[in-house]
Amino acid sequence: MSRMQKLLSDFEYIAHHPAQMLQQWKAATGGKAVGIMPIHCAEEVVYAAGMLPIGMWGGQTTISRANEYLQAFCCSIMKAVMEFSLSGAYKNLDAIICPETCDTLRPVPLMLRLSDPDTPVIGLVLPDNRKLQAGIEFTANEYRNIAGQLAKITGKPVTDEALHASIELYNRHHMVMMDFYALAAEHGDVITPYYRHQVVKSSFFIPKDRHLALVEGLTAELRKLPQTSEKRLRVVVTGIMTEPDELLILLDEFGFVIAADDLAQGSRQFRTPTPADPDPYIRLGKRFADFEGCSCVSDPLKLRGKILADMVRTRQADGVIVLIMKFCDPEEYDYPYIKKDIEDAGIPHLYLEIEQQMDSLGQCRTRLQAFAELISRRKWLVAK
């Protein structure tokens, strides 16, 4: 097995075995772990507390008991989270941080406390007026509160020095991830959409320093290879996530390469560096102020569509695939705006409704195939 294959295999294993990764880390370090609910939560505070942040992005399960807590018109990610909580899958977590990302997530802390009273759930409220000085300070105070709650669990305070060091590590990690994205776009035959996702998803289940080293190893190997994306159809994907795995395999089957992404479980985690400031909590507040382009973050200028159009131009993409997670209201509300900006820029796009658990992908197959035919015929016409 080549080093590249070994690395990809490792990423795949980590991404598919979060519970095992957590167990191994706890056994090795004796440390405590904190579940992080989507979308925007500065894991740096958890890392600075000496704890392991573990992403809680749902997963593959049969939804049964979650319907006791959640309405039918609720996103499949939250249904999976509740199902896992009720089945005891989160028993090994010492706390959960839950941001008020959307109307569905707003009552989730209460539901988690009801389903598992032994695991503390810490709420995180991120402000709409995030760019005002008062907003930055509000965000900073939310993270100070989280640090205080975590200190009660570990018995040790979170120092400013530890948080600064954590922020620097995460900044380096995020730069390496953006570098990986750029390389992945040019090596589509090796970094297929499936493997691209495994690299991203695995970042939520192991310490960032370990993940950073693995990704640097991968990018070093990629740099040795010739580029292989010339015959592929380059797309920007936007939405919450690209799951299930079968969807990713379909993208590869129709010859797509992901030239860039605007995914909540993707570049929205990595593309905004944390700026400098003497106060590490203010740094986190400033990052949230600087961030742009998420349906769950106040965006009064509606910049997301223009960000997508710029991504298409910068990465020389042929089109955009808008992955709408079924019942995700924020993403649906954004769609008319991004549709207009993409169409005004003359960029073809596909609206594709997905769920995290999909037994039958026949409808996705038809739509993806039609979109692949659409953009390849246009490319042929332009080339002619």
Partner 1 sequence: MYTLGIDIGSASSKVVVLADGQQIVAKKVIPVGTGTSGPQRAFECALHEAGLTSENIARQVVTGYGRMTYAGADEQISEITCHARGVHFLMPKARTIIDIGGQDAKAISIDELGLVVNFVMNEKCAAGTGRFLEVMARVLECDVQDLEKLSAKADQPVLVSSTCTVFAESEVISHLAAGQNRQNIAAGIHQSVARRVLSLARRVGLLPEVVMTGGVALNQGVVLAMAEELKMAVGVAPFPQITGAIGAALLAYEKASRS
Q: Which is nearer to partner 1, 13 or 351 (CB)?
A: 351
Can residue 363 be called a binding residue for partner 1 (CB under 8 A)? Answer: yes
Can residue 348 be called a binding residue for partner 1 (CB under 8 A)? Answer: yes
CB of 353 to partner 1, least distance (A): 5
Q: DSSP 3-state assignment of 374?
A: helix
Q: Segment contacting partner 1 (CB under 8 A): 119-127, 150-158, 305-313, 358-366?
A: 358-366
Positions 325 through 344 that interact with partner 1 (CB under 8 A): 326, 339
Can residue 155 be called a binding residue for partner 1 (CB under 8 A)? Answer: no
Q: Segment contacting partner 1 (CB under 8 A): 24-32, 136-144, 199-207, 368-376?
A: 368-376
Can residue 378 be called a binding residue for partner 1 (CB under 8 A)? Answer: yes
Q: Nearest CA to 200 among 252, 255, 268?
A: 268
Rg (CA), the chain: 20
Q: How many residues bind partner 1 (CB under 8 A)?
A: 18
Q: DSSP 3-state assignment of 193?
A: helix
By CB under 8 A, name the one of 24, 29, 60, 369 that touches partner 1.
Answer: 369
By CB under 8 A, name the one of 169, 273, 353, 379 that touches partner 1.
Answer: 353
By CB under 8 A, name the one of 24, 298, 316, 366 that touches partner 1.
Answer: 366
Beta-bridge partners for 239? 263, 323
Q: Segment contacting partner 1 (CB under 8 A): 4-12, 151-159, 278-286, 362-370?
A: 362-370
By CB under 8 A, name the one of 19, 303, 374, 379 that touches partner 1.
Answer: 374
Distance between CA atoms of 181 and 176, rounded to whole angstroms? 9
What tokens were used for 21? 């990764």
Distance between CA atoms of 221 and 4, rounded to whole angstroms? 6
CB of 326 to partner 1, least distance (A): 8
**What are the distances in angstroms from CA 277 to CA 38, 98, 132, 274, 358?**
26, 26, 16, 9, 45
Distance between CA atoms of 363 and 353, rounded to whole angstroms? 9
Distance between CA atoms of 372 and 257, rounded to whole angstroms? 11
Name the residue type at position 66. A
Can residue 249 be called a binding residue for partner 1 (CB under 8 A)? Answer: no
DSSP per-residue string spanning 229-250: -TTSEEEEEEES---SHHHHHH
Q: Segment contacting partner 1 (CB under 8 A): 88-96, 159-167, 273-281, 359-367?
A: 359-367
By CB under 8 A, name the one of 373, 379, 382, 383 that touches partner 1.
Answer: 373
Q: Helix 245-253 to helix 193-202 angle, to the nearest 10 degrees?
A: 150
* Strand ranges of the sheet holding 121-124, from the earlier edge strand across to the other edge: 52-55, 33-36, 95-99, 121-124
By CB under 8 A, name the one of 362, 382, 383, 384 that touches partner 1.
Answer: 362
Distance between CA atoms of 11 and 206, rounded to whole angstroms? 10
**What are the distances in angstroms from CA 346 to CA 65, 131, 196?**
45, 32, 27
Q: DSSP 3-state assignment of 248?
A: helix
Can residue 253 be called a binding residue for partner 1 (CB under 8 A)? Answer: no
Can residue 30 be called a binding residue for partner 1 (CB under 8 A)? Answer: no
Q: Which is nearer to partner 1, 184 or 322 (CB)?
A: 322
Q: Which is nearer to partner 1, 33 or 240 (CB)?
A: 240
Positions 51 through 110 that interact with partner 1 (CB under 8 A): none
Q: Which is nearer to partner 1, 310 or 332 (CB)?
A: 332
Residues 6+ apart with CB under 8 A from 259: 185, 234, 235, 236, 311, 312, 315, 316, 317
By CB under 8 A, name the one of 1, 72, 381, 382 that touches partner 1.
Answer: 381
Binding site for partner 1 (CB under 8 A): 326, 339, 348-349, 351, 353, 362-363, 365-367, 369-370, 373-374, 377-378, 381
